[in-house]
């Protein structure tokens, strides 16, 4: 019996590093936005950082399931899971932005910043692997 495939360690560690950095950045965002009189911007930025982390974790799991699946309709199932996840995140972010104006816009900042952290971390890891094979 073959072991079930898992998310590669390099991807897990990159997500872990991004979450740790996001936690620190979120704390700073709450502190700074609170000092500026808009603490909810920081809170919603933390929500965006969390949504970005959750999305990345779910993407990693979906990719592993896709790669291991023998189902004939695996591409359609993968596509539906991606679109469904992005739809939920988008509805949450837009809903917060509309319901808690103007501070709710912080959720978009958090989502965007998490992606920057993740791509930056991935780039550094890839660069190190290329330079020291």
Mean pLDDT to the nearest integer, 24-50: 97
Answer with the residue of higher pLDDT: 126 or 42.
Answer: 42
Q: Write the pLDDT tens digit of every residue in 80-101.
A: 999 999 999 999 999 999 999 9
End-to-end CA distance of the chain: 32
For residues 59 and 55, give the distance between their C-alpha atoms in angstroms, rounded to a whole number. 6
51 backbone dihedrals φ, ψ, rounded to 5°: -65, -40
Query: DSSP H helical segments within the chain, as ranges?
Result: 9-35, 39-68, 74-99, 106-131
67 lies in a domain?
A: yes
How many C-beta neighbours within 10 Å does residue 104 have?
20
Burial of 52 (0-12, 13-18, 19+ CB in 10 A): buried
108 lies in a domain?
A: yes
Domain range for residue 116?
A: 9-126
- What is the pTM for the complete model shown? 0.89
Question: Looking at the 3D structure of the chain, how many domains does it have?
Answer: 1
131 lies in a domain?
A: no
1 lies in a domain?
A: no
């Amino acid at each position: 019996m073959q072991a079930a495939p898992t998310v590669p360690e390099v991807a897990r560690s990159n997500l872990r590093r991004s979450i740790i950095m996001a936690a620190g950045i979120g704390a700073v965002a709450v502190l700074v936005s609170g000092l500026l009189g808009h603490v909810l911007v920081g809170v919603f930025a933390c929500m965006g950082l969390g949504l970005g982390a959750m999305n990345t974790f779910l993407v990693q799991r979906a990719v592993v399931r896709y790669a291991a699946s023998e189902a004939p309709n695996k591409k359609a199932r993968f596509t539906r899971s991606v679109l469904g996840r992005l739809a939920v995140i988008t509805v949450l972010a837009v809903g917060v932005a509309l319901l808690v104006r103007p501070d709710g816009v912080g959720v978009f900042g958090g989502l965007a910043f998490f992606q920057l952290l993740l791509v930056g971390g991935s780039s550094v890891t890839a660069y190190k692997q290329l330079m020291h094979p």
